[in-house]
Structure 1
Amino acid sequence: MRKLLILLLATLAPAPALAANQVALDNSVFVERVTTDASGKQRVLLEEPKVVVPGDRLVFVLNYRNAGGEPADKFVITNPMPSAVRFAGAGDASPIVSVDGGKAWGALDTLSVIQPDGTRRPAQPADVTHIRWAFQKPIPAGGSGKVMFRGVVK
């Protein structure tokens, strides 16, 4: 059982994101825990995952920094969705997603999935295989920021 948990944790860390130009990326993953104090007030904590179980909510954070001497134009981050995790949104950000391994991209509500019988059905969060952010403005030399997305352990 312990070996299974370690293997699951290894699959939760996203593969290195792909970026153009000289932009350095750093990925982190956290488990979102809700605690209640003595007065009944709830607090949301982000913790490093030691053990995760189905249903745990995860937060993936991708920090980026332009390490080059020039602005990074047409900057794109593409991150595969860990197979053990169901996509649960990206907050206020507007990434596009793929449900077919990165062949086609779009907003989730515009995509569909081919069924075994050849019919199509609307794509759902569990179908997401990749997430992509395409920056509309160049990132200045030395500029940095972060994007994030959420998932739920399957």
Structure 2
Amino acid sequence: MRIFLILFISILATAAGTAPLSAQDQAISLSGSVMHETVSFDASGKEVTELVEPNTIVPGDRLIFGTDYNNGSDEAVDNFVVTNPLPPAVRLAPDADTTLIVSVDGGKSFGTLSQLSVLAEDGGSRPAVQADVTHVRWTLPSVAPGESGRLEYPAIIR
């Protein structure tokens, strides 16, 4: 159990303590968070999904990584790019948005997962899968003065 607590601390440090790779304009402030997605049942037996502060996590648990942004300037910021590395202890969840722009080569190139491939064990290539994703990227066309929002992706503990 202790190893999972250490893993959790490592994940939080990566998510909260590391600024996204690309935050090109100082007018926009960014902050990261990680929430644990839990499923329980209410008194009537209906399934209830909640996002809670992570306590103890184990392989297979689902986390939601988020980046909040805020334009604190008096001017719009155009084509704002936010690039978040995935912590090595997680993989992109299978139900992640298929239009997410991702990298499978350490942030060198980006595309949708269906457009990307990786080196296969036999020396050829194979289609990339969620476990291959190393970075997630968003490009916001324009962030108005005072505008704020949240960018998220789901991940599974390896």
Note whether the superposition's TM-score is higher than 0.5: yes
Matches within 5 A, 1:64-143: 64-88=69-93, 89-91=95-97, 94-136=99-141, 138-143=142-147
Deviation at 1:135, TM superposition (A): 1.3
Supply the RMSD in Å over aligned alpha carbons.
1.6
SS of 1:104's partner is coil
Supply the AA of the counterpart residue of 2:90.
V
Distance 1:16 1:49, change over 3 A: same
Structure 1 counterpart of 2:64: 59
User: Structure 1 91/113 Cα, relative in aligned 2: closer, same or farther at 3 Å?
Assistant: closer
Cα separation, 2, equivalents of 1:104 and 1:85: 20
Task: Tell me how far 1:127 sits from its aligned partner.
Answer: 0.3
Report if the CA contact (8 A) 2:5-2:57 is conserved: no
For 2:123 and 2:108, the matched residues in 1 are separated by 18
Shift of 1:86: 0.9
Q: Which amino acid aligns with 1:110?
A: Q
Tell me the amino acid that sits aligned with residue 95 of structure 1. Answer: L
Number of positions where the alignment pairs a residue of Structure 1 with one of Structure 2: 151
Identical columns (%): 44
Indicate conservation of the 8 Å contact 1:95/1:134, yes or no.
no
Structure 2 unaligned segments of length 5 or more: list them: none
Segments of 5+ residues of structure 1 without an aligned counterpart are none
Specify the SS of the correspondent of 1:24: strand
Q: Distance in 2 between matches of 1:44 and 1:107?
A: 27
> What secondary structure sits across from 2:63 in the alignment?
strand
- 1:40 and 1:7 mapped to 2: Cα distance? 34
Query: CA-to-partner distance for each residue in 1:90-149, whole Å, 9 max, x for gaps?
Result: 448x4300000001110001100012432100000000000000112x111111111110
Decide whether aligned partners of structure 1 residues 66 and 90 sit closer, same or farther in structure 2, where only a CA change above 3 A counts. farther
Whole-angstrom distance in 1 between the partners of 2:9 and 2:136: 19
